[in-house]
Structure 1
């Protein structure tokens, strides 16, 4: 059974990302075709990228990098819960991705965006970033509008159709995470 991390990609005070991620996690917990964990970047003590060697070499010098690598290596797929800041994803999420390379490879990702345009531009940027670290992204995505899926732009009140969108994205994510498993298997 695939193991999926739901990564909260915002750390700022007053963020709505944690409520969005908990909502996605609650929906995911109703399923029996994968295991789901919440991974909060607030709990991952990463400075701005401070490794001397390129991540593709996996020659990590810092303990925080080694711990982050072990965390990500343990998952088969990811749901990135991302805000949209200035037409892109958050700096903290981009930084967390940039720390690693091989630990991301041959896995799958789905996206839940939120913002005035539903996080669509942040998701689009993340698709390009994921391609570079060899993560397959699924087509279905969830876009939560601050105008239609939140009360006073802060309290999550998703439209009923959004639950269907989460499940459609998870269906694809689990299928792709499972299909990519042979590529992640050790040689021999």
Structure 2
């Protein structure tokens, strides 16, 4: 069986963000897990402007090159992990914007989250994203990796060091995503991962 492609999407585009280091940690963990062929996708590098397509994404008739490029990237994945910060009791605008750009590319694919920020550990961001990804036809995992008080998790040079329990949480998420990915690829009408 071919290794399913897992995109670990860095949802924050803010200068000074912590999401890139957290996503890099999760990417390394996914490589060691060996259930996927993981790749990092950085929304800051993709550089999507505020949604500027004249037609609804459900039509799939994209006029802008940045949208076509984003569509190709997202379409290539079999599963997703969004690494999202919690801003003001919810998720950030760049994440919502990137999700809203596309429609058919998301349908029938499993998704999980790594949430971070403050005492809520990104839980409110993840909870707010669940109805969004569900309405886009994605299949959310039951578990998420949640990181409280992340400032203590960084060394002076900016390296992320996972707190106790985070490795196990990441493994649980990857195991569940793998099960979902295999099950969904075997569903009638799905393209198998062979």
- Flag whether TM exceeds 0.5 (same fold): yes
Cα deviation digits, residues 130-157 of structure 1 (max 9, x gap):
00110000111111011685258x7633
Deviations 1:45-92 (A, max 9, x none): 211111111111111111111110010000010001000011111101
Aligned pair partner of 2:177 in 166, 173, 185:
173
Q: Give the match for residue 21 of structure 2.
A: 19
Q: Give the secondary structure class of the aligned counterpart of 1:30.
A: helix
- Given the alignment of the two structures, is residue 101 of structure 1 paired with residue 103 of structure 2, yes or no? yes
Per the TM alignment, residue 169 of structure 1 is displaced from its structure 2 partner at its CA by 0.4
What pairs up with 1:158-169 in 2 under 5 angstroms? 158-169=162-173
CA contact (8 A) 2:35 2:174 kept: no
Partner of residue 148, structure 2: 145
Deviations 1:6-50 (A, max 9, x none): 000001111100010000011111022211000000111211111
Structure 2: segments with no counterpart, 5+ residues: none
Structure 1 stretches of 4+ with a deviation exceeding 2 A read 147-152, 154-158, 182-186
| Unmatched 5+ stretches in structure 1 | none
Q: Which residue of the partner structure matches residue 56 of structure 2?
A: 54
SS in 2 for 1:69: helix
Q: How far, CA to CA, are the matches of 1:158 and 1:148 in structure 2?
A: 11
SS at match of 1:139: coil
Maintained 8 Å contact 2:116/2:150: no
Which whole-Å CA distance do the structure 2 matches of 1:57 and 1:74 have between them? 19
Higher strand share: 1
Q: Which stretch has the larger CA shift, 156-165 or 111-120?
A: 156-165
Provide the aligned C-alpha RMSD in A. Answer: 1.9
> How many pairs are equivalent?
186
Moved more, 130-139 or 172-181: 172-181
Aligned counterparts of 2:169 and 2:29: Cα–Cα separation in 1: 11
